[in-house]
Chains A and B, each alone.
Chain A
């Protein structure tokens, strides 16, 4: 930079015409703002990084509390068949998902313990015969077809492989809902970059594909052996 400045100064000394002087003044200003331009570039760059990594995820998701507090670990200790005690397969092989009130009533027709959450559950839902509007962390969009039976019954996978150790949790974390899609944050994963440490950190299509590739199973239609869009998508 100094070389350029020196050259410019020499030129000012050498030339005297007014017009040229004006031109040099302009040139001088440009030289002066050169650092700022870069500064602003960096400012913009950093600001957008902050927006993209910090502010955007906060804006994108709203937080909702589950209607009733629930302790998986406590229940797990009381039942015989682990997860399947409540999240069972129906006779026709379909998966029941989140339990309905009817199953809860099997034990909770009356208040069993001393927790406030249970008292609220019995008075608000059991006695009024209302289904609990649970917010499902792992609910996929309706265009996705997923068979629990194929994975659990046929492939012998454990619940924890996709859902993580939720069975050991003592409370339900807030449900984070994507404001654009209406879906749970757990599908994309907590990490906004989409990176994961564990298999259960994300539930996007790439994650399905990754596992199927790693294990070299059903990577296309069973019938045609070609790409099977409609195996998983409606």
Chain B
């Protein structure tokens, strides 16, 4: 017997035949099918008990209620809270993506200290001890006023704790990041004589006149605005969008008026001209409850006739006249302003011109109009005991110049910080705390902001994420993220009622982070003496519960506290100016309508075009960067791979030889960048539009390195009336690359 090839083949064939009579092939087929469903990288939520926790989203100032779905101790979904006065069940895509901020890769997991340019982990005791020692030394040397804090809001217990700490420590330098709230607050202060928030009864308006506000692009409280938009459609209201670019808001409006950017204030006065000339204004209000109308009307009638305004604004005369008549004849008209998402304060005179339109049609504190909402007043802490150092420090005047002779009306001038720091011979700030904001990314003129931050000896970031500012910080004391902490959120985004939301922990902190409120209390205790005495609470939570008093239970159970009985004061009681009336003219700021458009930075000869930023719901331009889900929704006419596309009209593209999708070099007086070109009919010739919210250098690989940061191409333009940043664009050049 020889075993040869034949017998081997025979053995194999026998084996194959035999295998067919075993379960092996069928079982393997089945198992391999199941194996493909079981790849370890396929995310599968755990089994377990489902629970929901109601809370408040703090990712933007919108104040939406959320309900968080959990499986055991894992957050799996965030939804809008039904019945909530802001969003009633709706939620934007950023809010929906919150779980990625919780579990994403760029959390700061423990306190970090920069040693020789690299971050080193330290304990909380070391971190707080070190900061307290530094603060104590500085105070002993009489430098208490050289400590500053930047925060995104000045309302609620956390900002108030920081402010209280600064005051008792001896520094007036609490700085709020800029937004249109700065301009609206000033407008209400100067024209109504009240310190109040603007509230828009926008869902009941039947004629919305928007001076470039991205009503559906993130202005105000975004989800609330979407709901308002639905109610406009249902009630056949008219929406007119005045904006140089066909934004989403413009596309959804009834009429889009492409205007020369920066001339919106002139158009407002042109409309006022027609309303006055044709006697369409609300006589009862104007004659009985206002002052200065005669003084104001003369320059408006003389200087802003439709033919003059048409030349300034590029809007034709009949459109102006027609618009003015329709606006004034509507039963509940409302004019709003603040460009895009409202992140830049803008020109005060423009705000006052638009607000004067509201006064002319008498919608102040009326249904469908603009209401004044008093600031939240629930924080009633014991009077502070101050020592000499604290009092001296408080009298030093603010670093940003707000409230000084040059800027008497401004409360915070964040935009002046870089300039002040960079022009000083020795650093005017020794310690800067940054809470809930990312100024190195969001401040205009990135280069000079970075230069300023490098000059500050100690930058302390309280960020939960490794953002641009945290990367530049010397010390990071990471806060819990909004899903892990308590925080009261007085809603400041234009809701027409006094409303407080409560963010509460839906899950235990995932890392070694600490509530910034607790850190402030611990810092005060470490400094000891009367500073410690100013903070008699054992924890932030105890402070919050005590501060909210009888509202606490409602907030815990319902998630929000709403003053339902609120109605804005009647005209007779609404104005607290010296005259007790609405003031058209305010001599303090020379608010006569000698309106001239603020020019963008740069010379026309070398920069023939004008670059304007634009906002969209799909791009976050503030503290929170786009999570991966959100960046995935950005269209490829905005971002293609890592290239940003700028929009130009075909008329602008032709002489420059630029083609759709081609590369170009975009330069401005502040910097230059390589971009791609998107040729778009929806933009006025001579303009270049660039999306805001891209060009991060920090955060995760899902965001960093994509596109260009508009702030690296634009600088602040100081509004002569207020000192706030009023830049709406910058001169630019585009050339084929």
Do A and B form a real pair?
A: yes
* Chain A residues near B (Cβ < 8 Å): 33, 36-49, 51-53, 56, 60, 90, 92, 94, 96-97, 141-143, 178, 180-183, 188, 192-194
Which A residues are CB-close (under 8 A) to B27? 56, 60, 188, 192, 194
Q: Which residues of B contact A42 (CB under 8 A)?
A: 14
B7 neighbours in A (Cβ, 8 Å): 33, 36-37, 39-40
Contact between A181 and B22 (Cβ–Cβ < 8 Å)? no
B33 CB to closest chain A CB (Å) equals 9
Contact A94 B31 (CB under 8 A): no
Selecting from B44-52, B274-282, B664-672, B715-723, the interface stretch reads: B44-52
Bound form: Cα–Cα A36–B2 in Å: 9
- Complex A-B, nearest 8 residue pairs according to Cβ-Cβ distance, in ascending order: A52-B22, A44-B14, A48-B18, A41-B14, A44-B15, A45-B18, A44-B11, A40-B10
Residues of B within 8 A of A (CB): 1-4, 6-8, 10-19, 21-24, 26-28, 30-32, 34-35, 37-38, 42, 44, 47, 49-50
Inter-chain contacts of A56 with B (CB < 8 A): 22-24, 27
* Contact B21 A49, beta carbon cutoff 8 Å: yes
- Nearest opposing residue in chain B for A192, CB measure: B23
* Interface pair B14/A48, CB less than 8 Å apart: yes
Contact among A48, A96, A193 for B19, CB-based, below 8 A: A48
| Cα(A35)–Cα(B32), bound, Å | 39
A171 to B27, CA, bound (A): 29
Residue from A33, A40, A90 whose CB has the most chain B CB atoms within 10 Å: A40
Compute how far the CA of A197 lies from the CA of B35 in the bound complex, rounded to whole angstroms: 27
Alpha-carbon separation in the docked complex, A38 to B31 (Å)? 33
CA distance A111 to B42 in the complex (A): 41
- Asked whether A181 lies within 8 Å of B35 as measured between CB atoms, the reply is yes
Q: How far is the CB of B48 from chain A (nearest CB, A)?
A: 8
Contact between A48 and B50, CB atoms less than 8 A apart: no
| B427 → A minimal CB distance (Å) | 50
**Residues A141 and B50 in contact, CB atoms below 8 Å apart:** no
Docked CA distance A101–B31 (Å): 33
Task: Please state if A47 and B15 are interface contacts (CB–CB under 8 Å).
Answer: yes
Q: Is the CB of B16 within 8 A of A181?
A: no
Q: Give Cα distance in the complex from A44 to B12, angstroms.
A: 6
* Cα of A182 to Cα of B16 in the assembled complex, Å: 27
> Taking CB as reference atom, which chain A residue is nearest B49?
A90
A38:B24 contact, CB within 8 angstroms = no
For the complex, would chain B's binding face be called helix, strand, loop or mixed by DSSP majority? helix
| Residues in B whose Cβ lies below 8 Å from that of A44 | 10-18
Q: Once the chains bind, are B10 and A37 in contact (CB under 8 Å)?
A: yes
Q: Indicate if the CB atoms of A49 and B18 lie closer than 8 Å.
A: yes
Tell me if B11 and A53 are in contact (CB < 8 A): no
B14 A40 Cβ-Cβ under 8 A: yes
Instruction: Return chain A residues, CB-CB under 8 Å to B31.
Output: 60, 178, 180-181
Q: By the criterion CB–CB under 8 Å, are A37 and B6 in contact?
A: yes
User: Which one of A33, A53, A94, A180 contacts B35 once the chains associate, using CB atoms below 8 Å?
Assistant: A180
Q: Measured between alpha carbons, how far is A168 from B27 in the docked complex, in Å?
A: 31
Q: Chain A residues with Cβ under 8 A from B21's Cβ?
A: 49, 52
* Cα(A33)–Cα(B14), bound, Å: 16
How distant is the Cα of A218 from the Cα of B90 in the complex, in angstroms? 35
Say how far A136's CB is from chain B's closest CB, in angstroms.
9
Nearest B residue (CB) for A48: B18
Which of A47, A183, A194 sits near B23, CB closer than 8 Å? A194
Whole-angstrom distance between the alpha carbons of A192 and B30 in the complex? 12
CB pair A142 B2 closer than 8 Å: no
* B-side contacts of A43, CB under 8 Å: 11, 14
- Bound complex: CA of A57 vs CA of B16, how far in Å? 18
A47 contact set on B, CB distance < 8 A: 11, 14-15, 18
Specify the chain B residue showing the minimal Cβ separation from A49: B18
Apart from A40-B3, A44-B17, list 8 A-B contacts with CB within 8 A: A33-B2, A37-B7, A44-B11, A47-B15, A49-B22, A52-B23, A183-B38, A192-B27
Q: Which residues of A contact B49 (CB under 8 A)?
A: 90, 94, 96
Cβ contact within 8 Å between A97 and B47: yes
Q: Chain B residues near A36 (CB, 8 Å)?
A: 1, 3, 7, 10
**Contact status of A181 and B38, CB under 8 A, knowing A49-B22, A142-B44:** yes
A40 lies within 8 A of B8 (CB): yes
Contacts of B4 in A (CB 8 A): 33
A53→B24 CA distance, assembly (Å): 8
> Beyond A48-B16, A96-B49, A194-B23, is A142–B11 a contact (Cβ under 8 Å)?
no
User: In whole angstroms, what is the CA distance A60 to B1 when docked?
Assistant: 36
Q: Once bound together, how far apart are the Cα atoms of A46 and B18, in whole Å?
A: 7
CB neighbours (8 Å) of B13 from chain A are 41, 44
User: Which residues of B have CB within 8 Å of A53?
Assistant: 22-23
B14 touches A51 (CB 8 A): no
25 contacts between A and B (CB under 8 A): A33-B1, A33-B6, A36-B1, A37-B7, A39-B7, A40-B8, A40-B10, A47-B14, A47-B15, A48-B14, A51-B19, A52-B21, A52-B23, A56-B22, A60-B27, A92-B50, A96-B49, A141-B38, A142-B38, A178-B31, A180-B34, A181-B31, A181-B35, A181-B38, A183-B38
The answer for the CA separation of A38 and B1 in the assembled complex, in Å, is 13
Q: Which residues of B contact A180 (CB under 8 A)?
A: 28, 31-32, 34-35
Most buried by A among B4, B17, B21, B22: B22
Q: What is the bound-complex CA distance between A50 and B465, given in angstroms? A: 60
**Quick one: which of A45, A96, A178, A194 contacts B14, CB cutoff 8 A?**
A45
A44 and B17 CA atoms in complex are apart in Å by 8
Q: Which of A37, A53, A60, A192 has the most CB of B within 10 A?
A: A37
Query: How far is B614's CA from A177's CA once the two chains are assembled, in angstroms?
Result: 56
For the complex, what is the distance from the CA of A48 to the CA of B8, rounded to whole Å?
A: 14
**Closest residue of A by beta carbon distance from B25:** A52
**Contact A141-B18, Cβ < 8 Å, known A56-B24, A94-B49, A188-B30:** no
**A38 near B22 (CB under 8 angstroms)?**
no
Chain A residues near B47 (CB, 8 Å)? 97
Best-surrounded residue of A51, A97, A180, A188 (most CB of chain B within 10 A): A180
Interface residue from B24, B28, B42 paired with A51 (Cβ < 8 Å) = B24
Q: How far is the CB of B546 from chain A (nearest CB, A)?
A: 32
Q: How far is the CB of A233 from chain B (nearest CB, A)?
A: 10
Contact partners of B11 in chain A: CB under 8 A: 40-41, 43-44, 47
| Most A Cβ at <10 Å: residue of B4, B18, B35, B38 | B18
Cβ–Cβ contact B24 & A143, under 8 A: no
Q: Are A143 and B23 in contact (CB under 8 A)?
A: no
Contacts of B22 in A (CB 8 A): 48-49, 51-53, 56
A143 contacts across to B, CB distance below 8 A: 37
Name the B residues within 8 Å of A33 (CB-CB): 1-2, 4, 6-7
> Would A94 and B50 be within 8 Å (CB), given that A46-B18, A48-B15, A142-B44 are in contact?
yes
Is there contact, CB below 8 Å, between B19 and A52?
yes
Taken together as a complex, chains A and B put the C-alpha atoms of A46 and B112 apart, in Å, by: 68
A181–B31 Cα distance when bound, in Å, is: 6
Instruction: Output the least CB separation between A81 and chain B (Å).
Output: 19
Q: In the complex, are the beta carbons of A52 and B24 less than 8 A apart?
A: yes
CA distance in complex: A37, B17 (Å) = 14
